[in-house]
Amino acid sequence: MFNWTVQGQDQLFQQWFWYRVGNSGPEAPINTISPAVAVANTGTRGLSATYSQAQFSLRVEYLLTGGLLGGTKSTIGETITINNLSLSTLDFHFFQYSDFDLGGSAAGDSVIIGKNLLTGLYNTANQIHPLVTFQESVHTPGANHAEVGFFPNTLNKLNDLNTDTLSDITGLTGPGDVNWAFQWDLSIAPGASAIISKSKYVELTAIPEPTSMTFLLSAAAFYAMLRSRRSAS
């Protein structure tokens, strides 16, 4: 996912998922499992993509919800379902990487990740921007590990050839071009499924101003129309 536009302003640089089976070997993005074998739209707001191989299948579902027309609030609900298709317990490690450029800028944000005090699992990410409110909430289950850092450190970690566990450095990081990630360590019984449910919320606290180019084009069009009317007179 590379785009989440609210009021004409893109808030997202990249969000995607990586995985690893077992406790050794590198992580890989889920689109390397297979091509998306099933893609379905639910109206104009939903999308489902499934990736599968002999040992397991993985489905990602998105549901986009906005407020009133012209409003400043938007949410994306996400459900990830991992099905163990094998006859053995599946040792599955699932990673979500997020790089949001709130307000359309890659600089000036800070991030802090929160933990459920009862379960000890990570369940919230708050990205702080002067003109945009952002929060991700993990409904179930919480993540075992998390990490906040500066681009592209976490992305490089997920794409290298090492076996990685996120650092659990989750305190307030920034301002700057920040990114963050969650990690779930799952043990899925034969024929069973693991379901991760999350939601993201964006609210613009100030409506973006038109760009200078948009303003100049509008002014030029108005001036041309005015001259046309004067000529007609």
Average pLDDT over residues 124-149: 96
- pTM metric for this prediction: 0.87
**Cα–Cα distance measured from residue 77 to residue 68, given in angstroms and rounded to the nearest whole number:** 18
**Cα–Cα distance measured from residue 107 to residue 104, given in angstroms and rounded to the nearest whole number:** 9
Query: Quick check: 224 pLDDT over 80?
Result: no
Query: Who contacts 102 (Cβ-Cβ below 8 Å, separation ≥6)?
Result: 11, 109, 127, 129, 131, 132, 134, 202
Residue 22 burial by Cβ neighbours in a 10 Å radius (0-12, 13-18, 19+): exposed
Residue 73 burial by Cβ neighbours in a 10 Å radius (0-12, 13-18, 19+): middle
Lowest mean pLDDT among 10-14, 134-138, 143-147, 205-209: 205-209
Residue 42: predicted pLDDT: 73
What are the pLDDT digits (tens) for 62-111? 999 987 777 899 999 999 999 999 999 999 999 999 999 999 998 889 99
Query: Quick check: 230 pLDDT over 90?
Result: no
What are the pLDDT digits (tens) for 76-88? 999 999 999 999 9
CATH (one of 3.40.50.720, 2.70.98.40, 3.60.10.10, 1.10.1740.10) for 5-232: 2.70.98.40
What are the pLDDT digits (tens) for 152-180? 999 999 999 999 999 999 999 999 999 99
**Cα–Cα distance measured from residue 57 to residue 53, given in angstroms and rounded to the nearest whole number:** 6
**Cα–Cα distance measured from residue 193 to residue 165, given in angstroms and rounded to the nearest whole number:** 23
Average pLDDT over residues 182-209: 92
Domain ranges of the chain: 5-232
**Cα–Cα distance measured from residue 43 to residue 46, given in angstroms and rounded to the nearest whole number:** 6
Helix, strand, or coil (residue 165): coil
Closest CA relative to residue 177, chosen from 98, 107, 93: 107
Written as six digits, the tokens of 66 are: 């906005």
Residue 10: predicted pLDDT: 95
